[in-house]
Amino acid sequence: MTIDDARTEKGVRIERLAIETDQGIALPAEIWTPAADRGAAGPRDILCVDGDGRAEASESIRDLVAAGRRVLAVDLRGMGETAPPPQKYFDMVRHGANGQDAYLAYLLGMSLVGMQADDIVACGRWLASRDAKADVIGEPRQVDLFAVGLAVIPAVHAAAVHPGLFATTRLEDVPRSWSSYVEEGPLAPRPLPLASLVHGVLEDYDLPDLVELVRPTAD
């Protein structure tokens, strides 16, 4: 982790960070710390991920900070600041900005969704290791997870696999089931981008199964 810069807005400290979640993968992030001293028993910290990038979640972040929550907002790989420019041979609607990366992941026997879920877990662990009162490494503890839009897909995977890390999971703008997109076919007016799919997943589960498993809450 490296700190690029820090600023204060209305008493709220905002630090711009780069968090390394994998070899060669450093994600842009910001940690928002409320002005008031929350004490060692303060409310849990929140990890925020938005499919359109953390800048799009700024209003929700400000509301959470105003309620005394410390928020780590991260752009997952392929989202926000890390999204690649339009790729020549890929349809932005049907493939997503990360169509090429999704194909490369598939050829490697992986999925971009899985890599993004790993990002969430790494960032959650980093945040959980931060002491509630001071900006120092402390005993690990749970954090809350807040995901919006296409970031919901890797988020529910991360929360389902690591229930001991994420105390609560809040989801907004949740994509429909993968099966509903399959039923509509490739010419559906609003298809789910290729970059948000996992090859062969419907043999075992669908998105609503994971949503139910993590029991999302508005807390």
**163-214 pLDDT, tens per residue?**
999 999 999 999 999 999 888 876 777 788 888 999 999 999 999 999 999 9
pLDDT score, position 133: 47
pLDDT score, position 210: 95
pLDDT score, position 47: 98
Separation between Cα atoms, residue 152 and residue 172, nearest integer Å = 8
Report the 3 state secondary structure along the chain.
CEEEEEEEECCEEEEEEEEEEECCEEEEEEEEECCCCCCCCCCCCEEEEECCCHHHHHHHHHHHHHCCCCEEEECCCCCHHHCCCCCCCCCHHHHCCCHHHHHHHHHCCCCHHHHHHHHHHHHHHHHHCECCCCCCECCCCCEEEEEEHHHHHHHHHHHHHCCCCEEEEEEECCCCCHHHHHHHCCCCCCCCCHHHCCCCHHHCCCHHHHHHHHCCCCC
The residue to which tokens 């070899």 are assigned: 23
- pLDDT tens digits along 174-187: 999 999 988 887 67
pLDDT score, position 134: 45
User: Do the Cβ atoms of 165 and 120 come closer than 8 Å?
Assistant: no
Residue ranges covered by each domain of the chain: 2-214
CATH of domain 2-214: 3.40.50.1820
- What parts of the chain have a pLDDT lower than 70? 1-4, 37-41, 88, 131-140, 186, 216-219
